[in-house]
Amino acid sequence: MNADTSTSPAPSLGSQRRRAVFASTVGTTIEWYDFFLYGTAAALVFPHIFFPGQSPYAGVIASFGTQFVGFAARPVGAAIFGHYGDRIGRKATLITTLLLMGIGSTLIGVLPGYSAIGIAAPILLTVMRIVQGVAVGGEWGGSVLIAMEWGSKKQRGLMASWPQLGVPIGLLLSTGMVQLMSATTGPDFETWGWRVPFLASIVLVGIGLYVRLRVLESPVFTEVKQTQAVRKLPVIDAFRHQWREILTSAFVRMSEQAPFYLFITFVLAYGTTQLKLDRTGLLTDTLIAAAIGLISVPLFGYISDLIGRRLMYGIGIVCTGLFAFPYFGLLNTRMAGLALLAIVVSLIFHDMQYGPQAALIAESFGTNIRYSGAGLGYQFASVIAGGPAPLIAVAILQSTGSSTWISIYIVGCCVVSMIALLLMPRRGPTYEAPSIGPPATAGSTTG
């Protein structure tokens, strides 16, 4: 035993923390790269490839409709992987979600268009979007928890914000790939150039798997298994014992998620169709805003450790609401510099909420139902906020021809989030939610 110890020393706590943070961030980056790539393609390419022969707005609405299906599937993924994440561990589920997302995205890259296989094309596209939604629905809870649970209680905001970096990095990579292929393939972008970023997913998944396989299970969950506190039906227990936390977690995201998908997806359709702005310029603006997020997301997570999660999040809600009208006012000038300002500032206000959000939600749930409870609360927002937001915005624009009511919609989302934030159970900065109930069965930790 001594020989084994000397030749294979156990990684230090600091080393494991860094490895857990890196693995969770790399994995979420790949997941969000694939998820955002679909959103960008839905705004720029899919209306022509999979929904031809319709008016511009009808094609965009149909394309965003398939995007919404992915959002609707996210709570399903949260329930499925939440169950197994709270039963067998965080690590195994994270490997599965990564594989699932990679397979779905790669298949989109080889999917024939409507002209080749008719109605089967949009149907298969919708199926692949469902696969993406299930995968990303299960990904968030595990990646956040494995980073947060390896960290100290005093740095939960910072530790849990690192996986959140997958959003700006994934947005940066997906937008950058679309812009690169758009520039290099020119008129061929809508025929085959758009497929390359999807096919590249398989390479990224290989990298992610290598990193994640080297991470040890969360010590907090390991303790749950050792004390035989694993629940037989953690999803049911989460609804039964912490339904209030699930609901407030979902609605507190209204001001973050709904505007976000207007800021990164709808803006592409609005800018190119309504304002006749250059597609490449809008993609560049989004790239710049995403790059700033590499600093702002962990920064606001760190600040939440100092001033409190609720205060930091509340500031972000107020800023987003106040910027709703100036945002479209700047875009509507059709001036490149002001459009850049609108996009950058909008995502900074988003990051004020997204940085502390993971810890705000996850620390409310007991360890043995945390994957299920936090994942469900987080992903239910996809159905009420992120998923319908582009559809609502397009419908408003089509019926009114103005962005005014879209701004009012954003303000309404902020009001809902502020109410939910005030209703969320108050937690101290190092609060540890107790495990729920007695063990499911003595000695039973898998199933």
Calpha distance 303→277 (Å, rounded): 36
Residue 1 in any domain: the answer is: no
The pLDDT assigned to 258 comes to 93
Amino acid at 274: Q
Boundaries of domain holding 294:
12-214+241-423
Residue 108 in any domain: the answer is: yes
Residue 428 in any domain: the answer is: no
User: In the structure, what pLDDT confidence band is assigned to residue 132 with cuts at 50, 70 and 90?
Assistant: confident
Can you say whether the dihedral through the CA atoms of 118, 120, 125, 126 is positive or negative?
positive
Q: In this structure, are residues 99 and 209 in contact, taking their beta carbons and an 8 Å threshold?
A: yes
Residue 439 in any domain: the answer is: no
Residue 194 in any domain: the answer is: yes
pLDDT digits over 265-291, tens only? 888 888 888 888 887 888 888 889 989
- For residue 133, the domain's CATH number is 1.20.1250.20
Q: In this structure, are residues 445 and 87 in contact, taking their beta carbons and an 8 Å threshold?
A: yes
Calpha distance 22→15 (Å, rounded): 11
The percent of residues in the chain predicted with pLDDT above 90, rounded, is 30
Which contacts qualify for 119-128: CB closer than 8 Å, 24 or more apart?
121/49, 121/50, 122/50, 122/51, 122/62, 122/66, 125/46, 125/50, 125/66, 126/66, 126/69, 128/104
Domain count, the chain: 1
pLDDT digits over 168-199, tens only? 888 888 888 988 998 898 888 888 999 999 99
Residue 229 in any domain: the answer is: no
Can you say whether the dihedral through the CA atoms of 420, 221, 93, 149 is positive or negative?
positive
Amino acid at 372: S
Residue 434 in any domain: the answer is: no
Question: What pTM did the predictor assign?
Answer: 0.79
Amino acid at 278: D
User: In the structure, what pLDDT confidence band is assigned to residue 264 with cuts at 50, 70 and 90?
Assistant: confident
Q: In this structure, are residues 275 and 402 in contact, taking their beta carbons and an 8 Å threshold?
A: no
Integer-rounded Cα Rg, in Å, for the chain is 21
User: In the structure, what pLDDT confidence band is assigned to residue 6 with cuts at 50, 70 and 90?
Assistant: very low
Residue 4 in any domain: the answer is: no
